[in-house]
Chain A
Amino acid sequence: MVLKTETGTDRIEKQLSIRAPRAKVWRAITDVAQFCEWFRFKLDGPFVAGQTVRGNPTHPGYEHMKVEMRVEQIEPERYFAYRWHPYPNDPKVDYSTEPMTLVEFMLEETSEGTDVTIVESGFDGIPLARRAEAFRMNDGGWAGQIKNLARYVS
Chain B
Amino acid sequence: MSPSRGATALKVTEAVPVFAALADPTRLGLLGRLSTDGPLSITRLSSGTGVTRQAITRHLYTLGEVGLVRHTRRGRERVWELDAKRLEKAKQFLDTVSAQWDAAADRLKAFVEGSEPTGKH
Contacts and interface: CB of A to CB of B under 8 A. Distances in A.
Interface of A: 1-2, 5, 7, 9-10, 12, 14, 16, 18-21, 24-25, 27-29, 31, 33-34, 37-40, 86-87, 89, 116, 118, 120, 123-124, 127-128, 130-131, 133-135, 137-138, 140-142, 144-146, 148-150, 152-153
Contact of A116 (B11, B35, B89, B108): B108
Contact of A7 (B11, B66, B95): B95
16 contacts: A2-B105, A9-B91, A9-B94, A12-B101, A14-B101, A14-B105, A16-B108, A24-B117, A28-B108, A34-B111, A123-B93, A123-B97, A128-B31, A131-B22, A135-B15, A145-B85
A153 B17 contact: yes
A149 B82 CA distance: 16
Contacts of A134: 86, 89
B98 interface: yes
Main SS of chain B's interface residues?
Answer: helix
B112 A18 contact: yes
A87 B100 contact: yes
A2 B102 contact: yes
B79 to A, nearest CB: 18
A18 B101 CA distance: 15
Given A127-B32, A134-B89, 10 more contacts: A9-B35, A9-B91, A24-B112, A33-B121, A124-B35, A124-B36, A131-B68, A133-B93, A135-B15, A149-B17
Contact of A127 (B35, B85, B107): B35
A128 B27 CA distance: 11
A23 to B, nearest CB: 9
B108 A148 contact: no
A21 B116 CA distance: 12
Contacts of B117: 20-21, 24
Identify the 9 closest CB pairs spanning chains A and B, nearest first: A141-B85, A38-B111, A145-B67, A38-B107, A20-B112, A134-B89, A150-B14, A28-B112, A127-B35
The winner among A10, A141, A148, A153 for most chain B CB atoms within 10 A is A141
A123 B86 contact: no
